[in-house]
Amino acid sequence: MGRRGTALGIAKQPSAAGVQLRVHMKSSDRALLISRRQVIDLATPWDYLVAMERAFLELAHGGCTLPPVGHIACREGGFHIKAALGNAVAPRAVVKINGNFPGNAARHGLPTIQGFIALLDAERGTVLAFIESSEITARRTAATTALAARLLAREDSETLGIVGCGRQASCHVQALLDVVNIRTVKFCEPHDEPARQFRLFLDGTSVVGTRTADGASAARDCAAKSRLRARPRCENGCENPWRNASPARMVGQNHNPAPPRRNRDARVCQSSPCRSGSHFWSRDRRCR
């Protein structure tokens, strides 16, 4: 990331599958069709976390353009249309169309969220790939939460509260385990079968799951461990300019990611990342 730095301090190398995918997109005029199974094989929860960090950095520095979100209302649900343009050396445009139909499972035995992502060459107008979107949607939402926790959660946080045990519950636990030392998950789910499935998932992890009576109890039990750090400073004495950010601000309505609000009054130290404006933080309290 150069002078911009990273919140996680990691230079992630692409996997062999990712390199092959990039070579294909450069050398072929045929659009790839990438299934959910292939998406799962190509990326881990950590890969999504690194990608979301880079995306926020690019957005903060004008490296990408986000047009307004589109919506098509239907009788039983609706479609969300989201797009972005990356202003890189080889510019790419992405369009995601997701259908959200809450009654699908009961009526048709289908997932609530279905859709695709179209990856486009923004210089030639070529369609590079069509990618099944449900896995990416779930993982990038969880990765955004994990990034917020990585930057804002207390260092001694050990308890996670989950309200609802659908697809997002397991994705969030997997993403957060990469950045927070979670020991206990308190979850609320009114239906027994999703709660049972989620408990089975937790049994395969290092955390202990406890089902609570309601969402308020889960939130109350976790409140003492989830407060943001108060006016943290890096080793050079400057305040965290992102301290006013919160997971709710970073994940806006309809799970649409938005950059955290910068604190304009924060002091800026003299390290290169701070002077470049990319004042991100890590657990060792260093500016990144």
pLDDT band of 154, cuts 50, 70, 90: confident
Among the residue ranges 17-31, 90-104, 140-154, 201-215, the one predicted with the least confidence is: 17-31
Q: To 10 degrees, what angle do helices 45-60 and 134-152 make?
A: 70
Q: Distance between CA 226 and CA 223 in Å, rounded?
A: 5
Per-residue model confidence (pLDDT) at position 212: 85
Query: Is residue 259 pLDDT above 50, yes or no?
Result: no
Strand intervals (E) in the chain: 32-34, 64-65, 70-73, 78-86, 92-100, 113-121, 127-132, 159-163, 184-188, 208-211
Contact between residue 278 and residue 3 where contact means Cβ atoms under 8 Å apart? yes
pTM value is 0.67
**Does position 117 have pLDDT exceeding 90, yes or no?**
yes
Residue of higher predicted confidence among 228 and 221: 221
pLDDT of 276 over the 90 cut: no
Query: Looking at 68-77, 174-183, 251-260, which range is the least confident one?
Result: 251-260
| All domains of the chain in start order, with CATH | 2-138 (3.30.1780.10), 154-226 (3.40.50.720)
Q: Which residue has the tokens 């301290």?
A: 243
CB 120 within 8 A of CB 83: no
Residue-wise pLDDT for 63-91, tens only, equals 999 999 999 999 999 999 999 999 877 89
- pLDDT score of 30: 82
d(CA 77, CA 98): 11
**Which residues are CB-neighbours of 202 under 8 A, at least 6 positions away?**
173, 185, 208, 209
So what's the pLDDT on residue 217? 63
Ranges 160-169, 205-214, 217-226, 252-261: which has the least confidence: 252-261
Under 8 Å CB-to-CB from 20, ≥6 apart: which residues? none
Could you identify the residue written with the tokens 């990765």?
A: 143
Higher pLDDT, 11 or 126: 126
pLDDT at 218: 60
Q: Where are the alpha helices (DSSP H) in 72-182?
A: 104-108, 134-152, 167-177
Instruction: State how far the Cα of 278 lies from the Cα of 281, in Å rounded to an integer.
Output: 9
- Name beta bridge partners: 32: 129
Average pLDDT score, the chain:
75
At residue 29 the predicted structure's pLDDT band, cuts being 50, 70 and 90, is low
